[in-house]
Amino acid sequence: MKKLIFSIVFLTVGWATSQAQTFNLGIKAGVNLAKINADFASEENRLGYQIGAWARIGGASFYVQPEAYIGSKGNKFISFTNNSNTEIAAEGKVKFTTLDVPVLLGTKFGSKNLNVRVMAGPVLSLILDDSSTFSSAYQQATDFDNYKNQAFGIQAGAGVDVGAISVDLRYEAGLTNISKSEKYKQTPNLFQLSLGFKIL
């Protein structure tokens, strides 16, 4: 499924590049509110950041926007359901530093200097570093705090361009289990708000 999605996206990028009337390059920074969904634990959102660059290739309305940015995201677990199916209060904290590479397909409405955009597409997250602290209650969960080095998801959202300034609001849904445990599935999800500046 992942290979099919990326194949379609890269074919679309190739087509858009060959048909491109405009090419823009910019930088971006922002914040995210992330959470790891797990059916055996209760969790809370954690605030993170992102900083990186984007390119936009396309015509008057349709465009492709690949990006690359360093981000911080994580989660706070507040309770855990043990092997006796009893929920107990137990804290656990996880923090990731990631290199995120989304490839978004979008359309825009309005003029060159003032327009509204909608976009969606896949995102690959490479985990550069992770740190975690868990109470002893989580020790019975094999590989619970042992994480994979990459995750795959999909982003969707909207944005506004005012001159060289852009503002984007997106939701990212995780499509893969980032835990190495097959029993205790963990899927990251987040909202992100970013401010961008077009330099080309």
How many Å apart are CA 25 and CA 125, to the nearest integer?
21
Strand pairing of 187-198 and 87-110?
Answer: unpaired
pLDDT greater at residue 50 or residue 11: 50
Q: Is the pLDDT of residue 185 over 60?
A: yes
Strand pairing of 87-110 and 114-134?
Answer: antiparallel
Q: Say if residue 67 is exposed, middle or buried (CB neighbours under 10 Å; 0-12, 13-18, 19+).
A: buried
How much is the pLDDT for 19?
A: 54
How much is the pLDDT for 132?
A: 86
Read off the pLDDT of residues 147-157 as tens digits, 9 standing for 90 and up. Answer: 899 999 999 99
User: What is the pTM assigned to this prediction?
Assistant: 0.87
Read off the pLDDT of residues 98-147 as tens digits, 9 standing for 90 and up. Answer: 999 999 999 999 888 899 999 999 999 999 999 888 887 777 766 677 88
Tokens of 147: 């994480």
Q: Is the pLDDT of residue 18 over 60?
A: no
92-110 burial: b if 16+ Cβ within 10 Å, else e: bebbbbbebebbbbbebee
Type and span of the H or E element at 10: helix 2-19
CA distance to 37, 59, 77, 82, 179, per residue, from 150 (Å): 17, 33, 21, 27, 10
How many Å apart are CA 42 and CA 153, to the nearest integer?
21
Q: In degrees rounded to 5, what are phi and psi of residue 183?
A: -85, -40
Q: What is the mean pLDDT of the chain?
A: 86
Query: What domains does the chain contain, in order, with CATH numbers?
Result: 2-198 (2.40.160.20)
- What is the number of other CB atoms lying within 10 angstroms of the CB of residue 61? 12
Q: Say if residue 123 is exposed, middle or buried (CB neighbours under 10 Å; 0-12, 13-18, 19+).
A: buried
How many Å apart are CA 197 and CA 13, to the nearest integer?
22
